[in-house]
Structure 1
Amino acid sequence: MERIAMPSWWSSTWPTLVGVLGALLLLWLMLLIVLWRATPNQTGLREALRLLPDVLRLIKRLAGDRSLPRGVRVRLLLLLAYLALPFDLVPDFIPVLGYADDAVVVLVVLRSVARAAGPQALQRHWPGTPDGLAAVRRLIGT
């Protein structure tokens, strides 16, 4: 049986490739843990899903508000791009987290926006009911 000769660069490259892939896997697992810890309780998750249409309109309105700092608008635009992507950070076949990752990412970004732009920005752009805004504030912890 004849052995196939590997290129000389392969013997020095494969350990690096394995290390990079291992590091990416470790980062992804750490992300899963963070998302799991940040996932609201089942009541909060149901409440967040019920508010989803208003929250999406809120994000769009906040992203278009030129009076907000650029960093806030960039975060919101990146969030909209993430939500539009056909794949998620956590695949949907993973129980609970598979469907909750979008909600958790939205809540984390909205918490960041509320802290940077102030809760009055959320109130100014909120398209829904006052009860809905109160629920969003409760979910994001402001």
Structure 2
Amino acid sequence: MSDATALSKRYREGMATRRAVLGDNHVNRAQSASTDFDQPFQDLITEAAWGHVWSRPTWTKRERSIVTIALLAALGQDEEMAMHVRATANTGASREDICEALLHVAIYAGVPAANHAIKIAKEVLADMDPGRAA
């Protein structure tokens, strides 16, 4: 975190939200892996994505989680989508929510995008709960 960002209210809100959604372990890994080169990017996403958008009171974390998964699936952002499927353990979005989001992806963004996203979601969900088939 840069000195300029340290005092930003949005940054502090964003970091709290980021940790609540993604978990301390994920955020700690991202922070410890950052360098002078990508620290400005880490600051940006913490303040803008997590502080300005995810911290807004209008939608719940569950609702934001569902929309985020659908958007990432539609854009083919596999790693980010998998990360947000894992984050559903913290947001309250259910397997059924994920399924519904990916059905929307199939209709509005294409069957191949949804098919690939379903494969990824099933793998992540199986890792999260090995005793339950996704």
Larger radius of gyration: 1
Structure having greater relative contact order (Cα 8 Å, sep ≥ 6): 1
Indicate whether the TM-score tops 0.5.
Answer: no
TM-score by length of 2: 0.27
TM-score by length of 1: 0.26
